[in-house]
Structure 1
């Protein structure tokens, strides 16, 4: 099992490839997150990465999570966030310090796992909606699903986080089993595949 920092690197790299393929005409497409289009979900992800990086480095992110981080170039905004985020996680001793999140301070390893989940799962959401499932890192999804199944995940099943586990089709690929475990309903976007 690779370290959680390596897994974050992989998730950022995967999601960066997916973001490169999101054309302007796809920004208004609905996603598996109720009420969110592609632009809203990507903005949430970029804002989260910038805020996490700021929290890890003791700096000011410069905006609130749901402010507009994307401006006129979502791809450039993601690239900046990815660079800051990657650098922050590679600081010495990063996992030894608690991280303040919206719901309180959590130990470094748990904060890293939460962040890995954010980057990987939103990346998978965006891949599915924009017809880029071939770019999903199946091994990374399989690893994260194994970690989640091995912990008491019910604490995270609450409004604004994750819903109850949804059924995954038999033989579904790892990324779809991961989304089902996290309660994503993939039915509304099925017509876009």
Structure 2
């Protein structure tokens, strides 16, 4: 989904979807509405299958993104070898077990080894992996591995803090629970002081 400024009339929303996928998904959701006991012909539901078909394509658009290429598109030679931290990156994903959302923040750091990447690319990598059917544990590791493999830094640290609707809306129904996952490489894995500096910066109590 792209947003572009259009004169004095505000932002004009443009969306691009695969027509065949949209049609097939719409048919599936139409049948699902019937199976759940609703009438898909009533006014409020007539366009719901189409809306959901488009929404699901947007929510899983990460399958069409290449995280490695996102990093490689903006790699710069630089002698800086101190910690680079991008924290509080908003993320929205879909739990692959129930297809319910989980959402929260990712905190990512790396220590360059002669090369850096654009700061926005870190956030885009998070987005590329999050916009898929996921589990938080895998998401954490995928972000870490992508940055480590493409930049070859001295170390990478990733912490994700998220709330899962599958815990809040169903199951145990614990509305205020937060799940924290972490993964580290290199200096963050071997040097406790380096890891603690990162945790202090992001304000995490993780040990």
Normalising by structure 2, what TM-score?
0.28
Q: Considering only CA atoms, is the larger Rg found in Structure 1 or Structure 2?
A: 2
Which structure's residues are more often helix, by fraction?
1
Larger RCO: 1 or 2 (CA < 8 Å, sep 6+) = 1
Normalising by structure 1, what TM-score?
0.30
